[in-house]
Structure 1
Amino acid sequence: MSRARSSSSNPSGIHLLTDRRPIRELVRAAALGPGDLVIDFGAGPGTLTGPLAATGARVLAVERDDGFARRLRGRFAGAPVRVVHGDLRRVPLPRREFSVVASIPFGASTALLRRLLGDPALALRGADLVVEWGFARRVTATVPRGLEAAWWAARFELALRRRIPAACFTPAPSVDAAYLRVRPVAEPLDRRGHRALRELLRAAHARPGAPVHRVLRELGGKRWLPMLGEYAGGPAGEVPPPRWAAVARGMAAGEPGPGLN
C-alpha cells in the first residue's frame, strides 16, 4: 500500500498495489521460509501479507488504519500473522533478525529507511520495498546528496530494481513507483569501523570540495588514500560511500592501504 497526495476522488490518499507481478517478484526475492521473520509495513487489506504468510515465515502486518487492521485480523486468524495496529514510524522493531517486504506510503519512505538503516545494531536481513520512483533514484545515486543517505549507502547495497507503473495501483497515484532492494554489504563494519565511517562521511560532507588527501590527512588516515582508487585525486564530495566504508574498515583494523608497507 502506498499513500500519495489525496484528491477529491481519493480523499484517503491510499493506493493499493494490485498487480500480481511485482508482488510475486518482491516475495520471491526475499527468499523467506519457515522460521524467518518478515514485516509488512502498511499492510492494507493484506495484498502482500497473504503471499508472505504462504512462505511459512512469521509475518508482522503493521497497519495504522482501523478498518484495514480489523480486516487483517479476520482474514489471517489462525495464520502465522500478527497484526500490529500502529504507525510504521513508531512501532517497535524486532531485536532478532528480520526482513521487510512492503509497499509503503510514499510520504513515509525517508522515515522508514531512517529506522531500518540508521542503527548499526539493528539485525536487518534485507528489505524489498515499493517506494516512489524519484525517491528510489535519489537514494541509489552513486554519490548520495545527503550525509544520512551516504551513511545508508556505505553499509547497505541499495538497488533500484525496476520501475512500477502507476497503473499497477488502485487507484493509480500521480507518479510511478519503484522496486527498491536493500541488502547488507558482504563485509559489515564492526563498532570501530562504524565510528571511523561516521568521521569520514561527516568530514567529506562538511567540505565536499576539499581534496580527498587533505580530508584524510586531517583525520590521521592519509596512508589509506590508495583504498579510494580512482577517486584518490579528486574532491571528497565525489567519493562513493562504499569507498569510504573500505577506508573505514582499514582504519579500524589498523591495516595499510594497497601498495603501502
Structure 2
Amino acid sequence: MRSRDDRTGGIGSGSIRKQLSQNFLTDIPVARRLVRAAGISADDLVVEIGPGDGMLTGHLLNNAHRVLAYEKDRHYAAKLRARYASDRRIHVRHADIREITPPREPFTVVANIPFAASTDIVRWCLAAPKLTSATLLTQCEFARKYAGDYGRWTKLTVTQWPTVTMELDVRVHRYHFHLIPQVDAAVLRLRRREQPLLTRQELHGYHQFVEFGFSGLGGSLAATLRQAAPAPKVRAACTMAGIALDEPVGLISPDRWLTLYQALS
C-alpha cells in the first residue's frame, strides 16, 4: 500500500523519488551483506550517500565509529535526523554529495547510490584524497562496465588503476528495491592502493599517456602510439605488454596499459 505522500504526490512521493533516481533497498539480508562487504572497522569514518529511508544506516552504525550521511531529499534527511537525534555518532545533512568537500581524514563510502548520478559519485570518490574505499550499490551494467566485466575497460578505470582498483562484487535483483528499477543492481568496489604502482611524477606522465592512447588517432592503440613514437619501439613495447598491433584501445586491460607505459618510458 502506498503512503499518503505517494497518493498525493507530496514530499517523499514516488514521483519525487523518480526525479532523484531513488530506488530504496528493501531486503535486510542484502543490506547486511553490503555493509559486511565494505569491511568496516570500529575505528572507521563512513560517508553514506543518499541514505533515503535508512536501510543501510543502522547497519553502518553497528560497525563504524562515525557516519556522515548526505541526503538530497529534504523529507528523508529530516526523518533520519529525527530517528538518530540522540546518537552523536551520526551527522545527517540535507545536501547533494557532489557539492560537498570530502573529509580531510581517512574515510570509506558505503551507499546505495542514485543510478542517474553514478558517474558523478564515482568521480567524487576518486577525487577525494583521503578516501580508502567505496562500496557502491548501483546499476549492474554500470558496475560491470567500470570493473571491466565485459572484457572492455573505460578510460577512467585505466587512468585510476595505478592508485585505485575497481572490482565487481555481489549482484542484487531489482525486486529487492522500491521503486522497482528496470534493471538489476550490483556492487562496485573501489579500493585505494596503500602503495601506488607509480610515483607521483610517473603518474602525471601515465595520465597523459592514457589520454593520448584513448584519443583514437590511429584506429588501434598501437597505431595511435605510432603517431608519437617510432614504430619499432611501439612494436617492441606492445609485444612486452601482450598487446596485438591491431587491438582496439577499449579491450586492453589496465595492467597491460601499465606495462606498455613503463616499456615506452
The TM-score, its normalising length taken from structure 2, stands at: 0.79
Post-superposition CA distance 1:144-188 (Å, at most 9, x none): 24x334323454222221321111012312221111111124641
What's 1:244 paired with? 257
What's 2:14 paired with? 10
Please point out which of 223, 226, 230 is paired with 2:242: 230
Amino acid at match of 2:92: V
Contact 2:237–2:263, Cα closer than 8 Å, also in 1 = no
Distance 1:228 1:186 in 2: 27
Distance 2:192 2:223 in 1: 28
Task: Output the aligned Cα RMSD.
Answer: 2.8
Question: 1:62-73 residue pairs with structure 2 within 5 A?
Answer: 62-73=70-81
Deviation at residue 222 of structure 1 after TM alignment: 5.5
Please point out which of 167, 177, 185 is paired with 1:169: 177
> Match of 1:122, SS?
coil
Distance 1:243 1:75 in 2: 49
Amino acid at match of 1:74: A
What's 2:6 paired with? none
- Cα 1:143–1:197 change in 2 (3 A) is farther
Contact 2:35–2:59, Cα closer than 8 Å, also in 1 = yes
Q: How many residue pairs are counted as aligned between the two chains? A: 242
The TM-score, its normalising length taken from structure 1, stands at: 0.80
Distance 1:223 1:196 in 2: 20
Gaps of 5+ in 1: 1-7, 255-261
- Cα 1:38–1:211 change in 2 (3 A) is closer
**Structure 1 position 199 matched with structure 2 position 211:** no
Distance 1:177 1:148 in 2: 21
- Cα 1:232–1:41 change in 2 (3 A) is same
What's 1:125 paired with? 132
Please point out which of 23, 30, 42 is paired with 1:34: 42
What's 1:156 paired with? 164
Deviation at residue 239 of structure 1 after TM alignment: 2.3
> Match of 1:59, SS?
strand
Contact 1:41–1:104, Cα closer than 8 Å, also in 2 = yes
Deviation at residue 88 of structure 1 after TM alignment: 1.8
Please point out which of 174, 177, 186 is paired with 1:178: 186
- Cα 1:230–1:24 change in 2 (3 A) is same
> Match of 2:111, SS?
strand
> Match of 1:167, SS?
helix
Comparing 155-164 with 172-181, which one deviates more in the overlay? 155-164
- Cα 1:235–1:155 change in 2 (3 A) is farther
Distance 1:211 1:177 in 2: 32
Distance 1:228 1:143 in 2: 20
Distance 2:257 2:54 in 1: 40
- Cα 1:95–1:249 change in 2 (3 A) is farther
Amino acid at match of 2:85: A
Please point out which of 116, 133, 145 is paired with 1:138: 145
Contact 1:132–1:175, Cα closer than 8 Å, also in 2 = yes
Contact 1:106–1:131, Cα closer than 8 Å, also in 2 = yes
Deviation at residue 104 of structure 1 after TM alignment: 0.5
What's 2:66 paired with? 58
**Structure 1 position 92 matched with structure 2 position 101:** yes
